Each structure stands twice: as structure tokens, then as C-alpha cells.
Amino acid sequence: MTSLSPNPPGDQRAALSIGVLRETAPGERRVAVDPDVVAEFGRNGHRVLLESGAAGPAGWADADYSAVGATIAPRGEVIERADVLAALRLPPPEVTSTLREGQGLVGLLDPLQNLDLMDELCERGVTVAAFELLPRTLSRAQSMDALSSQSAAAGYRAAIVAAEAFGGFFPMMITAAGTARPARVLVIGAGVAGLQALSTARRLGAVVTGYDVRPASRGEVESVGASFATSSVAAGAGSGGYARAMTPDELAAQQQELSQLITKFDVVITTAKVPGRRPPVLVPEDTLASMSRGSVCVDLASGPLGGNVHGSTDGQRFVTANGVTVIGSSDLATTIPTAASRMFAKNVQALVTALTHEGRFAPDLGDELQRSVVVCHDREIVSPAVRTAMGLGDSTTARSEEVRS
């Protein structure tokens, strides 16, 4: 194995060392960087250190990485030598506790649910960047949008999972034994995951309908060949590309309308997440009980805070008393690890490149995108969203007052 020396402090010509560890979350099979991105990093003067075996669950051998210039090393050496660690999920405590001043961490880190850890890493001088904080409405952020890339993978997989669980055919089937009608599929939420689920279900031959509380989503839904349905209650557009949280009265009226619609479908796929909050229950118990025997519900919003479907539990499948199959999964992307890893690796490359200046992982906090996605840098909490969650003042104002004083 080849040992690499850390970049000398202040050496602007030094290559950036990107470390990649094997993911340890239960069921996680993806890897943060694929061989193609390793090669691209190399062409740009950077180098990658990969923990031995890290990419095995995603379908690649260590040799695939060493062939394009990566250094294969034990876990401890990767952590020690890396200038920045790229991760899919927040690394375990035995990793985060060893990160040092000036080192970087990039990934889907769920910072707003891990404020104490973010504060600890900040105090230790670690630079943290979380994909969840990316300002997704900025067009230049698209290449870095890991939430969208992984949602696309999850939406595609949701349609496949639903087809597998459904006891009938998705397409119309005309045979000597008779004609089977196509499955009727409803996808609730016309974000990235929802649109991918719609287009995949349609390719499988189903008759598809997309539902969203944002009337402006009609064009996107119809562009993938689906019919569009929406709520008559309120235009639910929010900030950052998400649907806004409805008031209790609005939600009750919407659910009544939606329940009547849901019972007409064979398959329902729900994608309505509300970042940092409990997702709305869009398929309540009485609606589930009114669905036809053999129907399927796939809940992509299922997680620790609940889900869109009554009783759904992340990672579990059950059948109700009236014969409806309920499948909860917050992250179906990990079930197609090779494709999902390829997309995530491109996001990592784009973000790391944007935050790297003259060979050092040093974000430009004068840039709106970088200031938003960076949790902390130089022992300061930077992200406005994280500062708000921690009850801190505006960092720009604070720095201005320091200059005046």
C-alpha cells in the first residue's frame, strides 16, 4: 500500500487528498466516489484514498480504483491522510471524533438533526459541507444536488418495487386467456422522486396520475405522460422547491379529497417529505382500509418521524387486514448502489471542486452557494439555516461588527 504525506500547510501547489471510507449504516451499499470520478480528480491534480473494500457493496473492486490512480489504504490511514472525507451518510462517532482542525467533511450529513455534533466539529476547526443545505433554486447548484440525484434513483426504484409487490400486471396484457387491464398508479408529490416514479411506471405500461398541491407542477407531470391531479384547498408552493406545510384545516380538507382519489388506484407511491419535520399522513388508516385487496402503497417518506402512509415503518413491509401491501423505505437509492453511487460521485466532485481553491479545501464564504452549503469553517458556524437552528445571529452581520470594532 502507498502512504501519502498530508499536504504541507500553506503549500498552494499541493494536491487535495480526498478520503473515502466504507459506509457503515445498516443496509447502505453505496460508495461516495466511483472510479470515473477518481480519474477526473486525478486529471485535475487531486488524489483519492480509498478504504480497502469500501466500494465492494456498490459493485467495484479495489483494483478498479487503483487502476485509475487511487491509493488503497486501511481505514485509519485514510482518515489520517485525507484533507477532506467524502461520505454518503454521517460517519460514525469513531470517525467524526478523530477529525482534526483544517480537515473537511462532505456528504449527506443531516446537520439540522445533529446540531450538537456540528457544534463540536466547528469547535475543533473541521470544515463541514452538507448537501442538504444546498440552495437548490440556484441553477449552478444542479451539478451538486445530491438530494435530487438520489431522489431520482429512489423514485425509479419505487416503481420497480411497487410492480414486484403488485399481484397483477402493470401493462395491459392481451392473451389467449383474456385481457388484463393496466394497473392504475397514483404518485403523490411531483418532485424529482415523484416524476421518476411516474415515468418509470408509465414505461412499465401502467396508467399513471401525478398528484401535487402545487398547481405549477402540472406541466412537469404531464411531460412524462401522466395525468395531473391537485388539491382545491390551497396552492402549496413553499421555498427551496419544496411544498409548504399546510395548516391543520387545509390539511384535513386536502386529505378528504385525496382519500376519495386514492381508493380508485391499484398502486400509490408517496413522496411528500417536509424537511426537518414529521411528514403529513396522506394515506390515513380509514383510507388504507378502503383500498381494494391487492393494492400496494410504497412510502418514500417513511422514517424516524413517521411517514405518509398510516403504519409504515422504514425498511419494513406488511399487509393490512384488508390485503393492502404497505412498503416503507426512506432511501431506496441504496438498493441500486452502482447507479446511485455514480450519480452521487458526480455531486461530490462538483461540490469539492467548488469549495477548493489553490489546492486547499477553503470555501469562499462571500459566495451565496458556498455560504449556504458550508455548515462551519474556521471555527465559525456559517450556514444561515444552521445558525438559525442554533439560535445564533446572522454571521455576515457579526463579521461586519467585528470589523467596525
Question: Catalytic residues, which ones?
Answer: 136, 142, 145, 148, 242
Q: What is the separation, in whole angstroms, between the first and last Cα of the chain?
A: 52
The cell numbers describing 383, all together, are: 450556514
Judge whether 299 and 284 are in contact, CB under 8 Å.
no
- Residue 218 exposed, middle or buried by CB count within 10 Å (0-12, 13-18, 19+): middle
For residue 325, which of 273, 259, 269 has the smallest C-alpha distance? 269
**DSSP code of residue 328:** E
Task: Kindly state the cell numbers that stand for 171.
Answer: 401493462
Residue that the C-alpha cell 487535495 belongs to: 16
The answer to whether 127 touches 377, Cβ cutoff 8 Å, is yes
C-alpha cell at 373: 452549503
Beta strands 178-180; 173-175: pairing state: antiparallel
Looking at residue 98, the DSSP 8-state letter turns out to be T
Phi, psi (deg, nearest 5) at residue 317: -130, 135
